[in-house]
């Protein structure tokens, strides 16, 4: 695979491009590819793609997109060009499995098959900001979920009572995050569970300071080094990638495309959604990705559902599964907040798609998360429950479409619910939902049974 | 106005300009603008009707997913070009100055999607927008705001750890005795209205559309 040092050189020798030229060039290139490869949303009731020839065309479009555009290095304003051979070699050499964690908590994180029959790998949380008072207890609660294969860190605004501002306090806070993560997994009885560092900030010092086999990030842990939307990369992330390649930690990327943005609509997002994890693998050596398509209006909680988004996500993940070793995760991002019926229904929809499209599961979290308001352990357990039921029932793409259509009917016309703070709907001391939330959970479970998904 | 143009004909010309902008047809839009001037129609009507209505329509189309961010950029560029044609025919003392907004993602933060969206929606809403990009220090934001005689500074932050830099801009303005010169609006993923109030911002936008409405209210 092309060396990270080659990438580093190209961030300084590549063609100079200004931001607007890059953004509009991305839009024009992707629009042209969508037309030429005939990528078209078939219609409202399609949530999961069943057109295999479309998947082939989409993959070809994604490859060509990356070959023609390259990656944009934000600080140097240069295009990092990649030729087809380099891209194909990277696809060939990328690992299918990632070993993580230690001792009895060691896990193998695997690429899934479309309509696969194996239980999914799971990261139950966090990727959500918490106050430092709640931090260790929150980590413990999520790490107690038996199916957790790794757990991700979180952001926060104060450390030791001080507001976090500026690199020195960011570095201190970053190391505290890992300290709380390690403490939380120990308290949960899972000392070897892999933790993934969620960057407090994306400066190189914030990314690298947490390496510490005794109290921080072990070699068997991971770090989130994400490519930005619109195929943009950061030099500091690349610096961290170079260091972590030697250290040994695995790396994750947020590799979904944002429909409504510069990639265009859902069809354009398919093209970027395929190109982006490949770019992240090459630029940062990321081996696990949350993949697919989201929509600007859904991430802003303006709409619960938009036509074509589920379908586009499905095409991306099917393409990545069929033609690459990309390890795809479904980041479950409901538009409604925790503690609500709508939140659980949205999570059910997204969790149902995951095993059918060949994706593992990742950190259900409200799209407009704020401090202590984003997720509870119940949603993580719920996503596992739903996806397990899909696998146990042997639900295929056709069956999945029908179930999703029925759930979508219950969401149509509704606006996202605000939801509740974590401690308002979940008891972290006794690791259970509060009675009202539990009642809602059973109600939603009943609804899914009525819809046709057998949950115990 | 040329007496050959009836009110109906005037309306059709104004509508044709609006339609050309919505369809992002630069040649047709510029031609329509020229025709409006040639017809002796008050160019302010075209600005207040055709361009404004086009911006509203484009905003609605974006909101329902028919148009995307790049379209808003193109419409913004086209609106600027058409305005320039029309404004040449308005006496300078009658030109209504656009309200000016400087927007940036704060220091230490390189996230731009939300900020880009707000910038294009504000521009489409008739504001003159100076987008400073990402990871911008407080001093540079204030310098720019002074240079362009901004009416408002809009600050975006997607990381909880960069939110304090929004406060820094407000505090720096206060220490320079400039706080009263600029309205401050903040936004971004983890940012809330409560936080905006806490740090002394004037306004908060939960998303691009709310930000545009908030800007209109604050700068009315």
Instruction: Say if residues A97 and A108 touch (Cβ distance below 8 Å).
Output: yes
From B152, B196, B198, select the one nearest B173 (Cα to Cα).
B152
SS3 A447: helix
> B161 and A295 in contact by Cβ < 8 A?
no
Bridge partner list, B187: B156, B205
Interface test with A, best of B73, B110, B161 (most A CBs within 10 A): B161
Output the pLDDT for position B4: 62
For chain B, the straight-line distance linking the first and the last C-alpha, in angstroms and rounded, comes to 30
Residues A118 and A216 placed together within one structural domain of the fold? yes
- For residue B7, pLDDT over 90 is answered with no
Confidence of residue B125 (pLDDT cuts 50, 70, 90): confident
| Residues A415, A298: Cα–Cα separation, whole Å | 11
> Number of residue pairs across A and B with CB atoms under 8 Å?
95
Under CATH, which architecture does the B100-218 domain have?
Answer: 3-Layer(aba) Sandwich (3.40)
> A74 and B134 in contact by Cβ < 8 A?
yes
Chain B residues at the A interface, defined by Cβ less than 8 Å, are 62-63, 65, 68-70, 73-74, 108-113, 116-117, 133-134, 159-165, 168, 189-190, 192, 206-209
Tell me whether A170 touches chain B (CB under 8 Å).
yes
Within 13 Å, how many C-alpha atoms sit on residue B144's CB side?
20
- For residue B1, pLDDT over 60 is answered with no
Q: How many domains does chain A have?
A: 3
How distant, in Å, are the alpha carbons of A388, B129, B219 from that of B153?
A: 49, 10, 11
pLDDT tens by residue, chain A, 456 residues = 899 999 999 999 999 999 999 999 999 999 999 999 999 999 878 999 999 999 999 999 999 999 999 999 999 999 999 999 999 999 999 999 999 999 999 999 999 999 999 999 999 999 999 999 998 899 999 999 999 999 999 998 899 999 999 999 999 999 999 999 999 999 999 999 999 999 999 999 999 999 999 999 999 999 999 999 999 999 999 999 999 999 999 999 999 999 999 999 999 999 999 999 999 999 999 999 999 999 999 998 989 999 999 999 999 999 999 999 999 999 999 999 999 999 999 999 999 999 999 999 999 999 999 899 999 999 999 999 999 999 999 999 999 999 999 999 999 999 999 999 999 999 999 999 999 999 999 999 999 999 999 998
- For residue B2, pLDDT over 70 is answered with no
Instruction: Say if residues A342 and A417 touch (Cβ distance below 8 Å).
Output: yes
Tell me whether A23 touches chain B (CB under 8 Å).
yes
Q: Which chain B residues are Cβ-neighbours of A264 within 8 angstroms?
A: 68, 70
> Among the three residues A302, A327, A352, which one is the final residue of a domain in this structure?
A327
Residues A208 and A278 placed together within one structural domain of the fold? no
| Distance in Å, alpha carbon of A450 to nearest chain B alpha carbon | 31
Cα B44–Cα B45–Cα B50 angle in degrees, nearest 5? 110
pLDDT, tens digit (0-9, with 9 covering 90-100), for B205-219 = 998 989 999 999 999
Residues A107 and A85 placed together within one structural domain of the fold? no
> A163 and B70 in contact by Cβ < 8 A?
no
Residues A123 and A195 placed together within one structural domain of the fold? yes
CATH for B7-91, among 1.10.1240.10, 3.20.20.70, 3.40.50.2000, 1.10.10.10?
Answer: 1.10.1240.10
Q: Do the domain assignments include residue A48?
A: yes
Q: Which chain A residues are Cβ-neighbours of B69 within 8 angstroms?
A: 23, 27, 260-262, 296
Residues A350 and A414 placed together within one structural domain of the fold? yes
Q: Do the domain assignments include residue A245?
A: no
Alpha carbon dihedral A438, A443, A445, A449, in 10-degree steps, equals 160
Residues A399 and A418 placed together within one structural domain of the fold? yes
For chain A, the straight-line distance linking the first and the last C-alpha, in angstroms and rounded, comes to 46
The domain locations on chain B are: 7-91, 100-218
Within 13 Å, how many C-alpha atoms sit on residue B13's CB side?
25
Bridge partner list, A100: A107
pLDDT, tens digit (0-9, with 9 covering 90-100), for B146-203 = 999 999 999 999 988 899 999 999 999 999 999 999 999 999 988 999 999 999 999 9
Query: What share of chain A has pLDDT > 70, as a percent?
Result: 100
SS3 B197: helix
> Among the three residues A184, A205, A224, which one is the final residue of a domain in this structure?
A224
| Residues A456, B79: Cα–Cα separation, whole Å | 58
Residue entry with tokens 């999961």: A48
From B128, B160, B125, B162, select the one nearest B144 (Cα to Cα).
B128
> Among the three residues A182, A202, A224, which one is the final residue of a domain in this structure?
A224
- Domain span at residue A164? 101-224
Residues A144 and A198 placed together within one structural domain of the fold? yes
Q: Which chain A residues are Cβ-neighbours of B161 within 8 angstroms?
A: 155, 157, 164-165, 170, 173, 200-201
Residues A373 and A404 placed together within one structural domain of the fold? yes
Output the pLDDT for position A203: 94
Q: Do the domain assignments include residue A235?
A: no
Residue entry with tokens 């500091």: A236
Output the pLDDT for position A12: 98
- For residue B124, pLDDT over 90 is answered with no
pLDDT, tens digit (0-9, with 9 covering 90-100), for B83-100 = 999 998 888 887 778 899
């Amino acid at each position: 695979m092309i060396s990270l040092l080659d990438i580093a050189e190209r961030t300084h020798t590549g063609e100079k491009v200004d931001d607007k030229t890059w953004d509009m060039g991305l839009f024009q290139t992707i629009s042209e590819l969508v037309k030429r490869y005939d990528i078209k949303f078939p219609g409202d009731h399609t949530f999961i793609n069943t057109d295999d020839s479309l998947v082939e065309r989409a993959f070809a479009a994604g490859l060509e997109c990356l070959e023609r555009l390259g990656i944009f290095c934000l600080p140097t304003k240069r295009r990092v060009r990649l030729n087809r051979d380099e891209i194909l070699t990277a696809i060939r050499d990328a690992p299918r499995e990632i070993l993580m964690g230690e001792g009895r908590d060691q896990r193998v994180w695997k690429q899934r098959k479309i309509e696969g029959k194996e239980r999914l790998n799971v990261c139950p949380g966090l990727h959500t900001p918490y106050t430092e008072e709640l931090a260790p207890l929150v980590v413990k609660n999520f790490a107690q979920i038996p199916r957790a294969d790794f757990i991700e860190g979180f952001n926060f605004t104060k450390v030791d009572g001080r507001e976090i501002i500026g690199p020195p306090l960011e570095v201190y806070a970053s190391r505290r995050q890992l300290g709380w993560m390690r403490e939380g997994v120990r308290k949960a009885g899972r000392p070897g569970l892999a933790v993934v560092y969620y960057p407090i900030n994306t400066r190189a010092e914030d990314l690298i300071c947490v390496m510490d086999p005794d109290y921080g990030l072990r070699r068997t842990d991971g770090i989130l080094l994400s490519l930005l939307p619109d195929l943009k990369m950061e030099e500091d992330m690349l610096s961290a990638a170079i260091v972590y390649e030697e250290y040994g930690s695995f790396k994750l990327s947020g590799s979904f495309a944002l429909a409504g943005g510069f990639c265009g609509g859902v069809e354009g997002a398919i093209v970027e959604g395929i190109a982006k994890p490949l770019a992240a693998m090459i630029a940062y050596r990321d081996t696990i990705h949350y993949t697919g398509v989201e929509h600007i209006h859904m991430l802003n909680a303006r709409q619960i559902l938009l036509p074509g988004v589920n379908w586009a996500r499905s095409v991306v993940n099917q393409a990545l599964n069929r033609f690459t070793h990309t390890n795809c995760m479904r980041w479950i991002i409901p538009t409604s907040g925790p503690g609500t019926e709508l939140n659980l229904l949205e999570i059910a929809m997204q969790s149902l798609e995951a095993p059918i499209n060949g994706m593992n599961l990742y950190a259900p979290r409200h799209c407009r998360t704020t401090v202590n308001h984003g997720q509870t352990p119940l949603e993580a357990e719920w996503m596992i429950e739903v996806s397990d039921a899909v696998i146990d029932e042997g639900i295929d793409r056709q069956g999945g479409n029908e179930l999703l259509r029925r759930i979508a009917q219950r969401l149509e016309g509704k606006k996202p619910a605000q939801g509740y703070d974590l401690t308002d709907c979940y008891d972290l001391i006794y690791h259970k939902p509060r009675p009202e939330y539990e009642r809602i959970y059973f109600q939603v479970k009943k609804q899914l049974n009525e819809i046709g998904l057998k949950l115990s | 106005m040329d007496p050959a143009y009836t009110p109906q004909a005037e309306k059709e010309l104004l509508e044709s300009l609006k339609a050309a902008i919505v369809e992002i047809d630069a040649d047709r839009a510029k031609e329509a603008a020229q025709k409006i001037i040639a017809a002796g129609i008050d160019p302010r009507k075209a600005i207040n009707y055709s361009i404004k209505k086009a911006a509203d329509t484009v905003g609605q189309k974006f909101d329902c997913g028919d148009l995307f961010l790049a379209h808003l950029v193109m419409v913004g560029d086209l609106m600027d070009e058409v305005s320039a044609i029309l404004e040449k025919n308005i006496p300078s003392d009658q030109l209504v100055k656009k309200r000016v907004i400087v927007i940036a993602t704060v220091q230490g933060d390189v996230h731009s999607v939300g900020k880009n969206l707000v910038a294009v929606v504000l521009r489409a809403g008739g504001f003159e927008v100076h987008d400073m990009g990402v990871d911008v220090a407080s001093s540079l934001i204030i310098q720019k705001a002074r240079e362009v005689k901004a009416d408002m500074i809009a600050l975006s932050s997607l990381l909880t750890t960069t939110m304090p830099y929004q406060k820094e801009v407000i505090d720096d303005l206060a220490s320079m005795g400039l706080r009263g010169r600029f309205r401050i609006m903040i936004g971004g993923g983890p940012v809330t209205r409560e936080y905006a109030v806490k740090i002394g911002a004037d306004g908060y936008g939960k998303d691009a559309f709310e930000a545009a409405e908030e800007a209109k209210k604050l700068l009315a």
